[in-house]
Each structure stands twice: as structure tokens, then as C-alpha cells.
Structure 1
């Protein structure tokens, strides 16, 4: 007797499972907790992020970390430059006094020089504050922080070119900030969904 042939009139009745007593009903559902292929609802697609976004990065990418460090370095250079510029204001007075010129013209020239140096020093300190703010916002910032960092890198590059040969480091760091923040992983970091 062959129980394997479903058309065998002497075989096991249909619906009866191996190891089951004759006349006993099969267990509820499909045996061994498996679902037969083709029955029921189709499998659901894998769970994704809301609105079909790809999986957001959970850690800051290395390029963004490097750009953050470069912003701190540039801010240090700018604070140092601002302090040196304010110190240079005193040397302008000393140079005028040492020259012996006490005319109104030399006084006006000294005041113009001190005003120009003070403007550059204040502008340098404002850019240092912006650099510090951007470095602090890299961790939690949105896409606006990324855009500001790219624009800041462009200004740092331009000012580095204008201050050559001393500005070579600032110019190189500005270019690297632009590259690291504008990369795809940097964009994904700043455009990640916030919950």
C-alpha cells in the first residue's frame, strides 16, 4: 500500500496528516505554524522611514566632523587676528609720535589708520563668532546650517586669497569646509528627519 499517491483509494483520507489518528480532524491552521504559499494576504514590504525617506544617519559623518573641527580652527585664527589688530592700533599712535609729526594732517592720517584697523578687527571677530556658531550648530542644525557653512567656506577662501601668503591655511580650510559639508553624506546629515 502506498500512502503517497493522492489518487490511491486505499490510502490515507485527504486532509489527514501523518502521525494523526484516522478520523481525527487536523489541527487549526496550517501545520507547523507555516503559511502555504499563495494563500492569504501578500507579504508587506519592509518597514521604511516615514514618507519614503531613506534611512537617516544616526551619527555625524566624518566629513561633517572634520568641517566642524576646521571651523573651530578658523575661529581660533580669527580671534587671534582680531586681538593682534587691536594691538596694532597702539603701534600706529607710537609710530606717529616717534616720527615727530604733530600736524593736523598726520593726526587725521593716524585716526584713519586706527579706524581702518579697528574695522578689520571687529569684522574678524564677527566672522570668528559666526564660525563658532556654525561649529556649535553642526550637531543639531538643519539644511540652513549646511548652506551657511558652504557660504562661510566661500568667504573664508576669498579672504584667504586676499591675505596671501598668510591666508593660505584659511583658504585651504575654507575649501575643505565646502567640500566636506557639500558631500552626499553631509547633505543626508543636515536633511535627516527630526522626530
Structure 2
């Protein structure tokens, strides 16, 4: 009986290489352990850019909020200017000699209706700006989208307000900045953050 015969049932069993780290072997540093059982689950994709959720309002979002307040205050000033023009309307028409002529009074009333329309529009813009301004701390992504739409319409209202001592130009510039700041990724992450 020799130990070298592989067909010998009483011979020495052939040597097998060690199975490596696993059950019964000590862990070796730097070598990952091969797991047994169920395969590892695929990584879960994290919302908000890999698990990042801002806890404080980012600077660009705060700037958009402040500029939104500037737009709302500008519309309050515009509404006040239209209100003053409306209050002085009858005196202005009397001084211009419009009274007495039915055709001229009809056009004056049409002009008065336009002033009332712009007064109401400016008041609505001021109220909407205030509502959006107050929603920045706790509002969702709809507040960001509404801010962008509001600023877009404020650009148009700024065009109609160019005659008011350059206030329309200020509104247009500030509105463009609100659109840019609200459209940034940091603002989107702020408004999409989880609320507990």
C-alpha cells in the first residue's frame, strides 16, 4: 500500500487548498469577508441628492425671499400711487375742463376705469407676494414654482410701471433675480426637503 496511489481507498486523502476566510477561519484585516446566505440588496437611491436635506434655508433661497418682499412692497407703492391718482381724478378732470362735454366725460370715465383696474392689479400682486413670502419657511415645491411664475408676471407689471420714477425698472431687475435664485438647485432642495 503506497500513499501515492490515488485509487487506493486506504491511502492519504489528497490535499485541498484552504477555503479562505469563512466559517472556522480567523478574519484577516483588509480582506473582505465573503457572505453566505442571501445576496446583498441593491443600494437604495436617496432622495435630495444622496441623502442631503438642508436644515436651514440656503442663502440664495433667503435672497429670493427678500427680493420677493421688495416686489411686494413695490406693488404696494404702485397701488398707493394709483389710489392717489384715483382720489384726485375728479379734480384733475375739472381743472382740465372735461366736465360738461358728454363725449369727453365718457373718455374720462374710461380712463378712470383703467386706473381702477391697475390699482386692483397692483393690490392683488402685493397680496400674492406677501402670501408667497410667508410660505418660504414651511412651503413645498409649489411655493418655489409659484415664486417663479409670480416673478415672471412681475416683469410684465414692471413694464407697465416704468413711468413711476423708475420703479418698474427696479421691479424687472429684482424679478429676474428671484427667478434665477428660485430656480437654483439649492432652492429646489430646500423646498423638497422632508418635513417632520
Where in structure 1 are there 5+ consecutive unaligned residues? 1-34, 43-47
Aligned to 2:54: 57
Q: 1:159 aligns with which of 153, 157, 160?
A: 157
Offset at 1:39? Answer: 5.8
Aligned to 2:63: 66
Offset at 1:36? Answer: 5.6
C-alpha distance in structure 1 between counterparts of 2:35 and 2:107, whole Å: 87
Please list the CA deviations of residues 36-82 of structure 1 after superposition, one character each: whole Å capped at 9, or x if unmatched: 6456969xxxxx9x962232000000011011111111111111110
Please list the CA deviations of residues 73-111 of structure 1 after superposition, one character each: whole Å capped at 9, or x if unmatched: 111111111011011013221122123331222222222
Q: Where in structure 2 are the equivalents of 1:3-152 lying within 5 Å?
A: 37=29, 52-53=46-47, 54=50, 55-100=52-97, 101-152=99-150
Aligned to 1:171: 172
Offset at 1:124? Answer: 0.4
Aligned-CA RMSD value: 2.5
Offset at 1:139? Answer: 0.7
8 Å Cα contact 1:64-1:180 kept in structure 2: yes
TM-score normalized by structure 1?
Answer: 0.72
Q: How many residues align?
A: 158
Offset at 1:122? Answer: 0.7
